Structure 1
Amino acid sequence: MASLGPATVGLIGFGALARQVVAALGDEPLRWVALVREGSSAKVPENVARVTVLDDLIGKRPALVIEAAGQESVSIHVPALMEAGISVLVASMGALADPEITGRISEARARSGASLIIPSGAIGGLDYLAAVSRLPDVKIRYRLKKPLAAWRSKLEALGLSGTKTAVTLFEGTPAEAARLYPKNLNAAFTVALTVHPAQFIVAVIADPDIDTNMHEIEAESAAGHATFRFANAPSPDNPKTSAVTALSLAASIRNFLGDGARR
């Protein structure tokens, strides 16, 4: 594989996900710069420059910025970056459930021509889902199953921390799921954007019999019946996040910068 070249890549936040993305692209001669809060205790390695003001990140003119700091950071930073003509890869997909945020991003994209990149994250099969989403009879179901450890505080609040059977914590729309579980339902909203305007139901399940983060997607339509199951190992730094998520972001960065180099 050809080198991506010494492009500058920005990061919003430098928590576990950002660290894993940088590590996954450690063989590339990229220049990294991370935007962190003033006074943040985040440890930034020597190969990553540190800034605390958005204007300083914009001033570095990165080829791409990776949002890896949660839904609030999407609202605060992404429209401004895109107004400046800087393309952004959004990890916190649930933020796009807010029409006000998506409206601001759409307006910024229209004015600047910057790209909003949607990674597949912890799941796959999006090409199939997009293909069948316009069929009038399509029915799509998404279930997120995680070990009890990923839902410890929620289960304790419900008095179910010692449950021996699976517990359905939520069932409803992807927008509501993203609002209630902002750190867990990014994959569900990725599906929602892929299949729009088709509607589907999201279920969130705590399962004592699994030790992986499991995403199950079913699609029924005149085109057939498809089932996707992704049993992802939890991130060692954050059991609520799948380890493959950082690899997906790294692949998206490679694709974007590689395409840019060929244009």
Structure 2
Amino acid sequence: MAVIGAGAIGGAVAESLVDGAVPGARLITVLRSSSTQDEVAAAIEAADVLVEAAGVEVAEELIPRITRAGKDVIVCSCGVFARHDNPRDIVAGGAGRVLVPAGAVGGLDVLAAAARAGTDEAALRHFTIKSPAALGVHGPLGTPREVFRGSAREAALEFPRTSNASVALALATIGLDRVEVIVVADPEVERTRHVVEWESPVGRYDMRFENAMDPDSGGRTSAITAWSVAEVLSAVAAGAGPGVVVVSAARPVETT
């Protein structure tokens, strides 16, 4: 395994690999912004799976290279898909897959199943409640304030570092342009909160998640996110497992 990025998520994933927390997985290298193109090429050649945790610009550049080489890449900066009309376009026709972890939310299995049953009458709403600083909201704020309401695509373009959960939900269900996202800045928040509401003829589901923040992320990233990536790596090593969105050139978006 190779990890791209040494920040809050990448550093934690690399540490979990070194500590043996992911059976069957071994860390080969960690790529940083200072890594040369030769080092990047060597990592792609040597690793079976790469973990991207370096931001949407890096994801945009490296996903086609990795998938074209026939390798799988776990993408944490999944806001990159908001830049493309079809999420599969970024795979560039390669044999490799893009794996999107559930990250800060859960329930992708039941939501994907509900979407498979039919989406014409389906609706999905995702509330994200974070600290003002994490959302770039400055100045005095005495009460919670709604700072965004729109589609998952629009949320990812406006808040690329804090909307990954919205994108994962959208990819697993009804798409980036139909999932409604509401972002709230709350000055009293101590943990990031996510509320997911689904309704369709097959059922109605309300899910709530309250996550501790990674201390190295400035309040933007839930601590569970890195462990979600580790869970995906473990599932890949075992050949099966839940909680991941698969994007490939050969098939539509699906979950396993």
- TM-score normalized by the length of structure 1: 0.81
Query: Which of 230, 235, 243 is the aligned partner of 2:223?
Result: 243
Following TM superposition, by how much is the alpha carbon of 1:240 offset from its aligned partner in structure 2, in angstroms?
0.5
Aligned length: 232
The answer to whether structure 1 residue 32 and structure 2 residue 17 are counterparts is: no
Q: Is the 8 A contact 1:36 1:52 kept in 2?
A: no
Give the unaligned 5+ runs of structure 2: 241-256
Deviates more, 1:99-108 or 1:185-194: 99-108
Q: Is the 8 A contact 1:123 1:215 kept in 2?
A: yes
1:105-146 CA distance string (max 9 Å, x none): 33333xxx2221111111101112112222432221101001
Residue pairs, 1:1-263, within 5 angstroms? 9-25=1-17, 26-27=19-20, 30-38=26-34, 53-59=39-45, 61-99=46-84, 102-109=87-94, 113-133=95-115, 134-151=118-135, 154-156=136-138, 161-197=139-175, 199-238=178-217, 239-259=219-239
How much identity, in percent, do the aligned residues show?
A: 31
Following TM superposition, by how much is the alpha carbon of 1:73 offset from its aligned partner in structure 2, in angstroms?
0.7
Q: Is the 8 A contact 1:37 1:52 kept in 2?
A: no
1:12-66 CA distance string (max 9 Å, x none): 121221111122331257133122223x7xxxxxxxxx9863222223x201000
Q: Using the alignment, how far apart are the partners of 1:10 and 1:101 within structure 2?
A: 27
Structure 2 counterpart of 1:91, which letter? C
Following TM superposition, by how much is the alpha carbon of 1:101 offset from its aligned partner in structure 2, in angstroms?
8.3
Q: 3-state SS of the aligned residue for 1:96? A: helix
Q: Is the 8 A contact 1:66 1:89 kept in 2?
A: yes
RMSD: 2.2
Q: Using the alignment, how far apart are the partners of 2:80 and 2:86 within structure 1?
A: 7
1:166-189 CA distance string (max 9 Å, x none): 111110011111011010000001
Q: Using the alignment, how far apart are the partners of 2:85 and 2:124 within structure 1?
A: 26
Deviates more, 1:235-244 or 1:11-20: 11-20
Q: Using the alignment, how far apart are the partners of 1:194 and 1:31 within structure 2?
A: 28
Give the unaligned 5+ runs of structure 1: 1-8, 41-49
Alignment match, 2:251: none
1:194-214 CA distance string (max 9 Å, x none): 113482210110012321011
Deviates more, 1:171-180 or 1:208-217: 208-217
Q: 3-state SS of the aligned residue for 1:53? A: helix
Larger RCO of the pair (alpha carbons < 8 Å, separation 6+)? 2
Q: Using the alignment, how far apart are the partners of 1:225 and 1:259 within structure 2?
A: 31
- TM-score normalized by the length of structure 2: 0.83
Following TM superposition, by how much is the alpha carbon of 1:148 offset from its aligned partner in structure 2, in angstroms?
3.0
Q: Using the alignment, how far apart are the partners of 2:33 and 2:141 within structure 1?
A: 39
Following TM superposition, by how much is the alpha carbon of 1:90 offset from its aligned partner in structure 2, in angstroms?
0.5
Structure 2 counterpart of 1:233, which letter? A
